[in-house]
Amino acid sequence: MYLPRGYVPEEDGGTTAEYEALTQRVTLWDIAAARQIRVRGREATEFVDYVVTRDVTRLASMRAAYVVLCDSSGRMINDPLLLKISPEEYWFSISDSDLSLWLKGVNVGKGFDVRIEEIDVSPVQIQGAEANGLMVDLIGDVALGMRPFGLAEAEIDGLPVLVSRTGFSGEAGYEVYLKNSTLHAERMWEAILRAGEKYGLAVTGPLQPHRISSGILAWGQDVDHEMVPFQVGLAAHIPRDKASDYIGRDALERMRADIAAGDHPYRLTMVGLRMEGDPIGDYLSDFWLVAPSPDAEPVGFVTSASYAPKLRTNVALARLPLALAVPGTQVHVCVPTGDSTSRSVPAVVSAFPIE
């Protein structure tokens, strides 16, 4: 499913104008592409606990959590947001994939007493410096009491919504999940626009500079099913003490032991970069190769890049060999010039967040 990646034309400021709206005012982003997969039934907790790496039995109702799903070899299937409505109802707010097919396939063999379906719910993100004020205007004081990753049932313009204190921007914000969205999407959208006028609300895309510098990964772009959690900084989401079994556990524990012994099961790992050169104003049309020096053979590649106005430099996410994945290491990015050639641009490896 397509999603909007920007609204402001370059001649009117482009990404920089949208970035300023996020960091100084408030933004609205249509993320209906983040489809909602509901798991509901008597054994919903047992099923969800089996397919994700973290212990969801410890997750309270009306809370959200970032989760990782792996296959039996420990490779990632998806890294969605999990919404726990109750012990018998969970929503996977998915990154770009057909996760419902995976979940249904798993249950063919396991036979948990659950129903798995994509539901008519579409989210939008309200993010930025004035997000709290706008949300209070929209749903009342319930917004004031919401902690990070909290959930709340509410209404906007009389329409039932679920609200989470989450986002993809690196700034404070909320996600609003509209129920029966095929019927009511325009009505809710217009209500948010009206309420946002006094805050200078801007409709934007995903704000690449902020999410890249914050180290927020995009599924299918920065991370995919060929990767394992340990190589993208997600070791903290692979608990050692989870009481129950889950898909991929044996493979992941073997990897953890190998890593501790210095025998990494992968060649490349995810890093941040500060890049020199002209400001990058659009999405990459392809992965850019990375080499240890201008005349050396490429050994890695950039997956996302953008100009970060706050840092006054280009920032990027890249996959590099472990030997180069040390903050402060200088590398060189092969930036295409548009005529089948490229130029070498210096970059420095950075930890997250990129500062």
What pLDDT sits at residue 16?
83
For residue 321, what pLDDT band results from cuts at 50, 70 and 90?
very high
The number of beta carbons lying within 10 Å of the beta carbon of residue 73 is 12
Location of structure tokens 């700034």: 171
Nearest by Cα to 231 from 300, 172, 159: 300
Q: 233: left (phi > 0), else alpha (psi -120 to 50), else beta?
A: left
Helix 181-196 and helix 131-139: axis angle, to 10°? Answer: 120
pLDDT at 284 exceeding the cut of 90: no
Query: Exposed, middle or buried by CB within 10 Å (0-12, 13-18, 19+), for 245?
Result: exposed
Determine what percent of the chain is predicted with pLDDT higher than 90: 78
Direct distance between the N- and C-terminal alpha carbons of the chain, in angstroms, rounded to an integer: 33
Q: 123 by DSSP, 3-state: which?
A: strand
Residue 289 contacts residue 301 (beta carbons within 8 Å): yes
Q: 341: left (phi > 0), else alpha (psi -120 to 50), else beta?
A: beta
Q: What average pLDDT does the chain have? A: 93
For residue 286, what pLDDT band results from cuts at 50, 70 and 90?
confident
Report CA dihedral (320, 352, 311, 211) to the nearest 10 degrees.
90
The number of beta carbons lying within 10 Å of the beta carbon of residue 282 is 14
pLDDT at 269 exceeding the cut of 90: yes
Per the annotation, where are the binding residues for substrate? 175
pLDDT 10s digits, 1-37: 777 888 888 888 888 888 899 999 999 999 998 999 9
Size of the chain in residues: 355
- SS3 letters across 7-55: CCCHHHCHHHHHHHHHHHCCEEEECCCCCEEEEECCCHHHHHHHHCCCC
pLDDT at 138 exceeding the cut of 90: yes
- List Cβ neighbours of 158 (8 Å cut-off, separation of 6 or more): none
Rounded to whole angstroms, what are the CA distances from 154 to 129, 137, 141, 158, 161?
Answer: 22, 12, 11, 9, 5
pLDDT at 283 exceeding the cut of 80: no
pLDDT at 355 exceeding the cut of 90: no
Per the annotation, where are the binding residues? 175
For residue 48, what pLDDT band results from cuts at 50, 70 and 90?
very high
Q: Which of 27-36, 51-60, 333-342 has the lowest mean pLDDT?
A: 333-342
Q: How far apart are CA 63 and CA 43, in angstroms?
A: 18
What pLDDT sits at residue 175?
97
Predicted model pTM: 0.93
Comparison of pLDDT for 283 and 303, the residue scoring more: 303
For residue 353, what pLDDT band results from cuts at 50, 70 and 90?
confident
Query: Exposed, middle or buried by CB within 10 Å (0-12, 13-18, 19+), for 172?
Result: middle
What pLDDT sits at residue 67?
97
In angstroms, what is the C-alpha Rg of the chain? 21
